[in-house]
Amino acid sequence: MNVNQIVTMVIRMVMRRLLRKGVNAGIDAVGNRMSRGNAAEQQGQSLNTAETTKRSKQAMKIARRMR
């Protein structure tokens, strides 16, 4: 392997971790916003924000595998 390939590999690894953290933070922020606004209760839905967060993270994992 030459230096260019090693640098590219390291950059990809770092970018994947940053992207994963950003997506998880966004999903958590939306879940917190929904629980504060009680949007789910107003619409007659009784989903827990923790369940919603868990399901959305599982969906992201499945989407990554399919890619």
Tens digits of residue pLDDT in 3-16: 999 999 999 999 99
Q: At what angle do helices 49-66 and 3-37 cross, to 10 degrees?
A: 150
- Name residues whose C-beta falls within 8 Å of residue 42's C-beta, 6 or more positions apart in sequence: none
d(CA 42, CA 8) in angstroms, rounded, equals 48
Domain boundaries along the sequence of the chain? 1-37
The answer to whether the pTM exceeds 0.75 is no
* The token pair that represents 23 in the structure block: 């997506």
Tens digits of residue pLDDT in 55-65: 888 888 888 88
Residues recorded for the chain: 67
